[in-house]
Structure 1
């Protein structure tokens, strides 16, 4: 969860000014409030004819009922089922809620508050490893992935849309000649999906916590305690990574992520066949990372690191962590609190970081609270504290607008 402050405050402030959109109902099933471009994106997002075999759409694994996250009926709760019955994903499906706020993948400057040294660290992008620079690049990943929608090509997707029921809407939005150039048409199709995923439907800021910020709701005593523990650098220290501006009452200043990457040393999930024999090293295996990394950056230093997720809607987006190893939200918080004080609770025989090669164990965050503990020491969070933080996290769930 935590890490030293990343210098992401400036990025958060900039993003807040870019994405000032009105609220809308979470997971609304109709087209209300959508522009023609966003409506087209919704049609494509829900189009199950784009997979091979047909039957799986973006919405199959990004279910509005669970904050646009899901597993498409997978027998393994940690990973989604693809269009082929035998196809299972390699990682836990991330929510798309609030994903449009993530800046493009890049290296940003971070100043160490203790030493004053400035270094560049990776931040932003889409997917757990940031391999898509932005939402536009993200669209084609699941579409063409053999383990997901398994579409044979971009041209196939364009032709399926051209011959489908909403082709008139495509022409209405982009003009009669849109399908003349398949490459250009695919780019426009992707832009429509991005427009939909960037609409207020995916970031309604409609939680109890948002109402608390606006002054129209009050947190219960246990929720207040959880919020205090969440912010306290000597307790949960969650705010170090799951960022928010403490001085602000604007919900858009509380995205609960700084978009950076952290190595948590998650326990191995033996239910995922794709990583049963080889660990998932995350960011260091991002294609092309070596080419864009600044001079002197050690790519191996981010093996085991994954993007810090937003905590908005976290109570309904389980399972948790990149490998879905935890089904319950409370277990995630308890893991953060006791990973280092009671390793046997989480790892077989108490052998920590069992999903990483020994040479990468040094990448795991062990210096900051609540990780700065040793076996047998008192955790920074008690069991009661853990319950309080969970109660606070449950206030981050967006609620449907009143009809």
Structure 2
């Protein structure tokens, strides 16, 4: 994932011809990207598609995989979630206090509703299902090439003693040596495969709530695609309900791997990388600020360059960070002040529950189709990219703009118990600034970065 530096690290004065091309929004070094093959779906993937959209599998009879992962919205949660409730970019009123005062409409909060009557709220907003086809298994540390039998607990011990290099957009290769959690699926990386990922929501009582394998198998056996099951998996596929469900989950995974819409790479930025599009002046400024260590430094975690073998960037290093985003009062579980979502160390992941150095860490998501997400971060606290950029810009220098104030004291990192505040990243830019210092980004920088982020939406059509 860590390849050549971006154009933000190039001294344009040393390369006047490149500078002229960049100034016009072009790419003087187009790349021939290695894209996933475009070919008809296999019979298994076609079956998986039918299952992906089948609402009959849910307890309500009204919810499918596509209900929470909208194909028309980048496999993000569906649009139409609340957009109001927080101060605008650079606004004078504290974002958290405004958010606490203005409640979203009933049933349209930061989490989805599921269960038998579609009234049971979830705990986290669903992450996108797109661009997971290259996701690695969960591990701790750099790529494990020398000792494939090392256990997770051994990796944890190594991570506790290893030194930590500051992660910046200008030095991702150096930071790649850090022994940190990475890979896996869900916000806490608790499963490794798309098959396991599909299993979670299917049986989760606050999501599809499918009940038992026996119930699911009986429904599948009565569906029009049951004949495909027999043709693909043999005449005895329905004799063992657990095997029936396993084959169904396998088919859903194959659909996600084979269907190009799950990893389309059809954004304007992809076209720009290949020399087929020009960025507007604002998009180019945003790209530079996205990579500038002294401004956004976004590319430190959201890698934006092709790999050495020309695979297109996924805009994530798949690592885990504790960012200390504000507590979201609109998540029903948060009405209990004793409840805390601690990410890697619980409550849904249990194998790292005693590794308190990871409490508060969540997976860095892809930024592809990010402008289409209805809510942001693991708790859906923000509803616009403007609010997200405000958080990065003001968290440390003006925390009163981000967190609630109680009895005159700003409640910084209010969604983490105090013993875990030390896990929050205060080292990597722009989080290395101190109270009262100048914010890393101007309002114009943030508007420019948002313009660039919109170039990551799939569906761009190259002008003829």
TM over 0.5: yes
Structure 2: how far apart are the matches of 1:41 and 1:52?
A: 19
Shift of 1:20: 4.8
Within the candidate set 93, 103, 108, 1:76 is matched to 108
Aligned to 1:3: none
Cα contact 1:136–1:191 (8 A) shared by 2: yes
Aligned to 1:109: 142
Equivalent position SS for 1:69? coil
Greater Rg by CA: 2
Matched, 1:53 2:60: yes
State which drifts further: 129-138 or 258-267: 129-138
Aligned to 2:412: 352
- Give the count of matched residue pairs: 372
Aligned to 1:227: 287
Structure 2: how far apart are the matches of 1:94 and 1:103?
A: 16
Structure 1: how far apart are the matches of 2:248 and 2:165?
A: 44
Structure 2: how far apart are the matches of 1:57 and 1:190?
A: 13
Matched, 1:299 2:292: no
Within the candidate set 177, 180, 184, 1:121 is matched to 180
Matched, 1:184 2:243: yes
Cα contact 1:77–1:319 (8 A) shared by 2: no
Within a 5 Å distance, the mapping from 1:371-386 to structure 2 comes to 371-386=431-446
Equivalent position SS for 2:413? coil
Matched, 1:283 2:315: no
Structure 2: how far apart are the matches of 1:149 and 1:400?
A: 33
Within a 5 Å distance, the mapping from 1:109-188 to structure 2 comes to 109=142, 112-113=164-165, 120-188=179-247
Structure 1: how far apart are the matches of 2:132 and 2:177?
A: 27
Given the superposition, is the C-alpha separation of residues 23 and 233 from structure 1 closer, same or farther in structure 2, using an over 3 Å criterion? farther
Structure 2: how far apart are the matches of 1:97 and 1:116?
A: 26
Structure 2: how far apart are the matches of 1:274 and 1:102?
A: 29
Equivalent position SS for 2:113? coil
Within the candidate set 360, 368, 375, 1:312 is matched to 368
Matched, 1:98 2:131: yes
Equivalent position SS for 2:123? coil
1:206-240 alpha-carbon deviations (Å, 9 max, x no partner): 00001001110011111111111111222211111
Aligned to 2:119: 86
Given the superposition, is the C-alpha separation of residues 117 and 247 from structure 1 closer, same or farther in structure 2, using an over 3 Å criterion? closer
Q: CA RMSD in A?
A: 2.5
Cα contact 1:244–1:254 (8 A) shared by 2: yes
1:270-328 alpha-carbon deviations (Å, 9 max, x no partner): 0001122212111111534249xxxxxx7101111100000000000121001111011
1:250-276 alpha-carbon deviations (Å, 9 max, x no partner): 4x3310001110011011110001122
TM-score calculated relative to the size of structure 1: 0.86
Within the candidate set 388, 393, 401, 1:332 is matched to 388
Cα contact 1:208–1:396 (8 A) shared by 2: yes
What are the ranges of 5 or more consecutive residues in structure 2 without an aligned counterpart? 4-33, 82-105, 144-162, 167-173
Given the superposition, is the C-alpha separation of residues 342 and 64 from structure 1 closer, same or farther in structure 2, using an over 3 Å criterion? same
Aligned to 1:9: 2
Structure 1: how far apart are the matches of 2:418 and 2:392?
A: 20
Aligned to 2:170: none
Cα contact 1:23–1:204 (8 A) shared by 2: no
What are the ranges of 5 or more consecutive residues in structure 1 without an aligned counterpart? 1-7, 11-18, 25-32, 292-297
TM-score calculated relative to the size of structure 2: 0.75
Cα contact 2:303–2:314 (8 A) shared by 1: yes
Structure 1: how far apart are the matches of 2:414 and 2:56?
A: 40
Cα contact 1:227–1:392 (8 A) shared by 2: yes
Matched, 1:37 2:37: no
Structure 1: how far apart are the matches of 2:111 and 2:332?
A: 10
Given the superposition, is the C-alpha separation of residues 147 and 247 from structure 1 closer, same or farther in structure 2, using an over 3 Å criterion? closer
Within the candidate set 346, 350, 367, 2:427 is matched to 367
Aligned to 1:267: 326
Cα contact 2:109–2:331 (8 A) shared by 1: no
Cα contact 2:307–2:313 (8 A) shared by 1: no
Equivalent position SS for 2:251? helix
Cα contact 1:80–1:89 (8 A) shared by 2: yes
Matched, 1:66 2:73: yes
Aligned to 1:21: 36
